[in-house]
C-alpha cells in the first residue's frame, strides 16, 4: 500500500507522520528535536503503542532524515523506500505565488527560497527539508503545502494595510496570514458536523496554540485572518506580542537602546503571555496560579480580551456567524479558557454546554442545543491535510 510522509521541518526540529493513503491511516509519527544543538532527541511512535527513542547528537537535517529513514526500515515500519510514494512538506510562507499546494519543481524551490524574507525562521528550514527528502527519496512525489495558501482568497480590503500603495506593489507589503492548513481542516470538519456545505456557512476558527490565529471564513473561503505580513500580528500568543502600535516600538527601541533585530526578538520571543505574566509562556502554568498571581491573571485576561475582540470584528465584517471552532493546544485542551471566551459572547446568541465543554478527547459540540450560534472543539490535523494534498497531486499527475 502506498505511504505518504507529512513533514514539518523547523529550524532545529523535524516533525513527521507516515500515513497509509488513501486509507488515511497513521502508521508512524515522530519528531527529531534539538537538531544541531547537541543531545538531539529522536522519537517515533508506531504499531500498537510502541515507542522508539534515542538521544544522540544529530548535526543537521540531512543526518536527521537519514536516521529517520533508516529507523523506518529497522523497525519494519516500511519494507523498502519505494513504499513511500509521496512526501508533503509544510511551508510557512507562500506569498502571492501560491494559493494552493503544488508539486515541488526547481522553480517552486527557488520561490520558497526567495520567500524566506517573509518567514526567515521557517522557510529556509522548510526548503532544506524538501531538498534532503528529494535527495534521499528521489522517486517520491514532493508537494509543498503552504500555511498562507488558504488565506489568498481574502479580499484586498482585508489584506491591505493603510500604507502608501507602492509598498504593496514594490515589496508585497500586505497581510498573508498563517495556520491556513489548520483553519481549512477544522472549517471543513465543522461543516460536516453541522451537516451543511461549507460555502453556505459563516465560521470563525480559533487556532489557539503557542502561535495563535483567528480566521473568518465566508463562502467557504478565508475572508480575514488575525496574523499579518508575518505570524507576529494578531492576538496575544505564548511569546509573541500580537498587534502593537508601531510607533511604540520605535519609542521603546530608542529608550532601551535596542537594535532592530533585538527588538524583533523581544516581540517574537519575550512578549505575549510570557511578557505580561513575567512567569511563563505556557497557558497551563498561568491557569494554575491565576488565583494568587495577579500577573498570571492579567496575562490570561489580556489573551481572552484579544480573542473576544477579534471575534467581534469578524462577526461585524461577515454580518453574522454560524459557528465558532476551537482548535490547537489551548483551544483543544483548555476547558476554562473556552468557557472564559464563550461566556463573553452570550450577546450574540451563544450558550455554552458546560458538560460537553468538560469532556476530553474527540470532536465535540460545546454549545447548547438552543444556542443560535454553535461552538465546537475540533482537534486540528494538519498532517492529514498535507497527506490529502499529496494524494490529490498524485492523482493529477497520473
Q: Give the shortest CB-207-to-ligand ADP separation in angstroms.
A: 8
Indicate whether 329 belongs to the interface with ligand ADP (CB under 6 A). yes
Q: Which residues pair with 7 in a beta bridge?
A: 16, 89
Judged by CB under 6 A, the residue of 94, 180, 211, 272 near ligand ADP is 211
Q: Give the shortest CB-217-to-ligand ADP separation in angstroms.
A: 19
Give the residue at shortest CB distance from ligand ADP: 329
Binding-site residue numbers for ATP are 15, 207-211, 282-284, 329-333
Which CB, 92 or 190, lies closer to ligand ADP? 92
Indicate whether 12 belongs to the interface with ligand ADP (CB under 6 A). no
Judged by CB under 6 A, the residue of 333, 353, 356, 368 near ligand ADP is 333
Q: Give the shortest CB-287-to-ligand ADP separation in angstroms.
A: 6
Interface stretch with ligand ADP, choices 35-43, 97-105, 121-129, 208-216 (CB under 6 A): 208-216
Per-residue x/- marks for ligand ADP, 287-306, CB under 6 A? x-------------------
Q: Give the shortest CB-381-to-ligand ADP separation in angstroms.
A: 12
Indicate whether 129 belongs to the interface with ligand ADP (CB under 6 A). no
Indicate whether 209 belongs to the interface with ligand ADP (CB under 6 A). yes
Residues between 161 and 200 with contacts to ligand ADP, criterion CB under 6 A = none
Interface stretch with ligand ADP, choices 72-80, 155-163, 283-291, 299-307 (CB under 6 A): 283-291
Residues with catalytic function: 147
Q: Give the shortest CB-150-to-ligand ADP separation in angstroms.
A: 17
Which CB, 334 or 371, lies closer to ligand ADP? 334
Q: What are the distances in angstroms from CA 153 to CA 96, 219, 250, 300, 318? A: 10, 10, 33, 32, 14
Indicate whether 334 belongs to the interface with ligand ADP (CB under 6 A). yes
Q: Give the shortest CB-237-to-ligand ADP separation in angstroms.
A: 8
Exposure string of 336-375, with b = 16+ CB inside 10 Å and e = fewer, is ebbbbbbebbeeeebbbbeeebeeeeebbbbbeeebebbb
Indicate whether 330 belongs to the interface with ligand ADP (CB under 6 A). yes
Which CB, 127 or 237, lies closer to ligand ADP? 237
Which CB, 177 or 211, lies closer to ligand ADP? 211
Which CB, 77 or 208, lies closer to ligand ADP? 208
Judged by CB under 6 A, the residue of 283, 300, 345, 375 near ligand ADP is 283
Burial class (CB in 10 A: 0-12, 13-18, 19+), 50: exposed
Q: Give the shortest CB-328-to-ligand ADP separation in angstroms.
A: 4
Interface with ligand ADP: number of residues (CB under 6 A): 13
Three-state SS for the chain is: CCEEEEEEECCCCEEEEEEECCCCEEEEEEEEECCCCCCEEEEEEECCCEEEEEEECCCCHHHHHHHHHHHHHHCCCCCCHHHEEEEEEEECCCCCCCCCCEECCHHHHHHHHHHHHCCCCCHHHHHHHHHHHHHHCCCCEEEEEECCHHHHHCCHHHHCCCCCHHHHHHHCCCCCCCCHHHHHHHHHHHHHHHCCCHHHCEEEEEEECCCEEEEEEECCEEEEECCCCCCCCCCCCCCCCCCCCHHHHHHHHHHHCCCHHHHHHHHHHCCHHHHHHCCCCCHHHHHHHCCCCHHHHHHHHHHHHHHHHHHHHHHHHHCCCCEEEEEHHHHHHCHHHHHHHHHCCHHHCECECHHHHHCCCCCEECECCCCCEEEEECCCCHHHHHHHHHHHHHHHHC
Judged by CB under 6 A, the residue of 20, 62, 66, 282 near ligand ADP is 282
Q: Which residues bind ligand ADP (CB under 6 A)?
A: 209-211, 238, 282-284, 287, 328-330, 333-334
Amino acid at each position: 500500500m502506498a505511504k505518504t510522509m507529512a513533514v514539518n521541518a523547523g529550524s532545529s526540529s523535524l516533525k513527521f507522520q507516515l500515513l497509509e493513503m488513501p486509507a488515511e491511516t497513521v502508521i508512524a509519527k515522530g519528531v527529531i528535536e534539538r537538531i544541531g544543538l547537541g543531545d538531539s532527541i529522536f522519537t517515533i511512535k508506531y504499531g500498537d503503542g510502541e515507542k522508539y527513542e534515542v538521544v544522540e547528537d544529530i548535526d543537521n537535517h540531512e543526518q536527521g532524515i537519514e536516521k529517520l529513514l533508516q529507523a523506518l526500515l529497522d523497525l519494519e515500519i516500511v519494507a523498502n523506500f519505494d513504499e513511500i510514494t509521496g512526501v508533503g512538506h509544510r511551508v510557512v510562507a507562500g506569498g502571492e505565488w501560491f494559493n494552493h499546494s503544488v508539486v515541488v519543481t526547481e522553480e517552486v524551490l527557488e520561490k520558497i527560497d526567495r520567500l524566506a524574507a517573509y518567514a526567515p525562521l521557517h522557510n529556509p528550514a522548510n526548503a532544506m527539508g524538501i531538498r534532503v527528502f528529494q535527495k534521499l527519496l528521489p522517486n517520491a512525489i514532493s508537494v509543498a503545502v503552504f500555511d498562507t495558501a488558504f488565506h489568498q482568497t481574502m479580499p484586498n480590503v482585508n489584506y491591505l494595510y493603510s500604507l502608501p500603495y507602492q509598498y504593496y506593489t514594490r515589496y508585497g507589503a500586505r497581510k498573508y496570514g498563517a495556520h491556513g492548513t489548520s483553519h481549512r481542516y477544522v472549517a471543513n470538519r465543522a461543516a460536516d458536523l453541522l451537516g451543511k456545505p461549507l460555502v453556505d456557512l459563516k465560521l470563525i476558527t480559533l487556532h489557539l496554540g503557542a502561535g495563535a490565529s483567528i480566521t473568518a471564513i465566508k463562502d467557504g473561503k478565508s475572508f480575514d485572518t488575525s496574523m499579518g505580513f508575518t505570524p507576529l500580528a494578531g492576538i496575544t500568543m505564548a511569546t509573541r506580542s500580537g498587534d502593537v502600535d508601531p510607533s511604540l516600538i520605535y519609542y521603546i527601541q530608542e529608550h532601551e537602546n535596542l537594535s532592530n533585530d533585538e527588538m524583533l526578538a523581544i516581540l517574537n520571543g519575550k512578549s505575549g503571555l510570557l511578557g505580561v505574566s513575567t512567569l511563563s509562556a505556557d497557558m497551563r502554568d498561568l491557569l494554575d496560579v491565576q488565583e494568587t498571581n495577579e500577573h498570571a491573571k492579567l496575562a490570561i485576561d489580556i489573551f481572552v480580551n484579544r480573542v473576544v475582540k477579534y471575534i467581534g470584528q469578524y462577526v461585524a465584517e461577515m454580518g453574522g456567524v454560524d459557528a465558532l471552532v476551537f482548535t490547537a493546544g489551548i483551544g483543544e485542551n483548555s476547558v476554562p479558557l473556552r468557557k472564559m471566551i464563550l461566556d463573553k459572547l452570550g450577546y450574540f446568541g451563544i450558550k455554552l454546554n458546560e458538560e460537553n465543554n468538560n469532556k476530553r478527547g474527540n470532536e465535540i459540540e460545546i454549545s447548547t442545543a438552543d444556542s443560535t450560534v454553535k461552538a465546537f472543539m475540533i482537534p486540528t490535523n494538519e498532517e492529514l491535510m498535507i497527506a490529502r494534498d499529496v494524494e490529490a497531486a498524485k492523482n493529477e499527475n497520473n
